Amino acid sequence: MIATISTQMVLVLTEVLGVGLLAWLVWAFNRLVRSRNLMLEGWSGIDVQLKRRHNLIPNLVECVRGYSQHEKTVLAEVVRLRGQAQQDEQTENRRAAAHSENALTDHLKQLFALAEAYPDLKADSNYRQLMEQLTEIEDQIQYSRRYYNGAVRDYNIRCQAFPSNIVAGLFKFKQASFFEIEIATERQAPKVELAQHGEAGK
């Protein structure tokens, strides 16, 4: 009789532990899914703003070309890097996208250096409007980037921390990369370079 009761208790405890383990697995899995979806939502915000920036670049290039046709190398490189950045973003490779966007930013700064050398271009209403739009877009990119990187941080913690890392491994949740991007309209290098040239000529 006592042996029968003991066996039943063991079976009940086993069932309770099994149900508890299953419930925990479901809970941990759902937390990982939620974290991943928040991260993807964050990336979609960045992607929208990057596409806005890409759409603005041809108009900016044409505006500068109208005043500085002999600077073909810089203009062509900006166009090429825009295409490369668009291609990398389609592959959803965050590291490659960040690298391409930062290379594009560097050449946009060179484009702005041309504007510094042409007062008529700086005064052009179309150019000023494009620059205002670019500044607004890049502000939005920074806001979206902070949200995305926060979501990546939380998701990666769940992928790494015990015991949720066990569930992450079982269901192949992979860690994500942060997205870092420089801003072309921030701390523009051309102004510094022109000042240096001015001092050299004294």
C-alpha separations of 93 from 111, 176, 187 in Å? 27, 10, 28
* Distance, CA of 87 to CA of 150 (rounded, Å): 25
* Distance, CA of 202 to CA of 51 (rounded, Å): 44
* Distance, CA of 10 to CA of 8 (rounded, Å): 5
- Which pLDDT does position 69 carry in this prediction? 67
Domain locations in the chain as residue ranges:
32-200
* Distance, CA of 188 to CA of 191 (rounded, Å): 6
The whole-model pTM stands at 0.81
**Which stretch of DSSP H or E encloses residue 140?**
helix 125-160
pLDDT in tens, 98-114: 999 999 999 999 888 87
Residue of 48, 57, 46 whose CA lies nearest to 94: 46
pLDDT in tens, 21-49: 899 999 999 999 999 999 999 999 999 99
- Which pLDDT does position 189 carry in this prediction? 41
Place of tokens 């079976």: 11
User: Taking the mean position of all CA atoms in its chain, how far away is CA 81?
Assistant: 16
* Distance, CA of 61 to CA of 102 (rounded, Å): 18
pLDDT in tens, 52-97: 999 999 999 998 888 876 678 888 999 999 999 999 888 878 888 8
- Cβ proximity of 109 and 35 under 8 Å: no
CATH number, domain 32-200: 1.20.1440.20
- Cβ proximity of 39 and 155 under 8 Å: yes
C-alpha separations of 71 from 102, 183, 185 in Å? 21, 22, 20
- Which pLDDT does position 5 carry in this prediction? 65
- Indicate the average pLDDT of the chain: 85
- Cβ proximity of 149 and 33 under 8 Å: no
- Which pLDDT does position 50 carry in this prediction? 94
- Which pLDDT does position 103 carry in this prediction? 93
Better-scored residue on pLDDT, 198 or 146:
146
- Cβ proximity of 183 and 138 under 8 Å: yes
* Distance, CA of 19 to CA of 26 (rounded, Å): 11
* Distance, CA of 141 to CA of 184 (rounded, Å): 11
- Which pLDDT does position 164 carry in this prediction? 92
